[in-house]
């Protein structure tokens, strides 16, 4: 066994740098974008990001005391757990149910209701439309509205944002007359 080198330990600055890079990527690329998430997912997203802070601290302590076996074990176990939680959150944010949607009533400017009547092949007697708006679409050129009741051939409308005169959040699903 003479001549064998003892196993070398990983420089503790490397995992600290890696943890910083992962956190920076999550925040910088808005992978955990919370602005358009359901309120519960906003809490989960913020908590996931906050969990990376103890990872930094543990690896910083490990860099200061590289010979501490319990610290090394704790840092790696906690980092692994946080990585799994982060992967789970990223996985679930790809599904539509995590995105914020609100029940609303939109009042539209002329001639938009007439154009929608022609497009949907249905008579329209009102300038107001009720349904579920994808809140992310409120910042884009077209507001996406999933209608509460189908309008002719249309169930979802992409309405020019400039045609929306008013928006009322309803806080509950609209009632359907039977």
Q: Are 145 and 159 in contact (CB under 8 A)?
A: yes
Q: 118 lies in a domain?
A: yes
Domain tally for the chain? 2
Cβ-contact 130, 148 below 8 angstroms: yes
Same domain, 121 and 141: yes
Classify 165 as helix, strand or coil. strand
- What is the pTM (predicted TM-score) of this model? 0.54
Q: Is the Cβ–Cβ distance between 135 and 101 less than 8 Å?
A: yes
Quote the pLDDT of residue 9: 63
H or E element, residue 104? strand 101-108
Percent helix, strand, coil in the chain (nearest 5)? Answer: 50, 20, 30
CATH number for position 105? 2.30.30
Q: Same domain for 91 and 120?
A: no
pLDDT of residue 86: 84
Domain that holds residue 22: 13-97
Q: Please give the helix or strand (H or E) that residue 145 lies within, else none.
A: strand 142-151
Residues 120, 54, single domain; the answer is no
Q: Tell me, what's the pLDDT at 4?
A: 54
* Residue pLDDT tens, the chain, 178 long: 555 555 456 666 677 677 777 777 766 666 666 666 667 777 888 888 888 888 888 888 888 888 888 988 888 899 889 888 888 887 877 776 667 777 888 888 888 888 888 888 888 777 888 888 877 777 889 888 888 778 888 888 888 989 898 888 887 766 655 3
Task: Quote the pLDDT of residue 31.
Answer: 60
The per-residue pLDDT for 178 is 39
Same domain, 40 and 114: no
Distances (CA, A) of 33 to 55, 94, 171: 21, 11, 24
Q: In this structure, is residue 146 part of a structural domain?
A: yes
Beta-sheet pairing, 164-169 with 128-134: unpaired
Question: In terms of Cα–Cα distance, which of 23, 18, 6, 26 is closest to 76?
Answer: 18
Q: Assign 78 to helix, strand or coil.
A: helix
């Amino acid at each position: 066994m003479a001549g064998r080198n003892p196993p070398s330990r990983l420089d503790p600055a490397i995992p600290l740098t890696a943890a910083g890079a992962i956190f920076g990527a999550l925040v910088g690329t808005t992978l955990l974008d919370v602005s358009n998430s359901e309120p519960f997912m906003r809490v989960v997203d913020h908590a996931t990001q906050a969990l990376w802070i103890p990872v930094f601290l543990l690896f910083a302590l490990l860099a200061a005391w590289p010979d501490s076996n319990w610290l090394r074990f704790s840092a790696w176990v906690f980092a692994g757990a946080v990585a799994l939680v982060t992967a789970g959150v990223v996985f679930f944010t790809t599904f539509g149910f995590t995105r914020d949607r609100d029940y609303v009533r939109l009042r539209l400017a002329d001639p938009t209701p007439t154009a929608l009547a022609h497009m949907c092949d249905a008579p329209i007697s009102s300038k107001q439309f009720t349904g579920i708006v994808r809140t992310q679409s409120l910042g884009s050129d077209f507001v996406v509205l999933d209608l509460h009741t189908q309008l002719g051939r249309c169930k979802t409308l992409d309405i020019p944002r400039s045609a929306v005169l008013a928006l009322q959040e309803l806080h509950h699903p609209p009632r359907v007359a039977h």
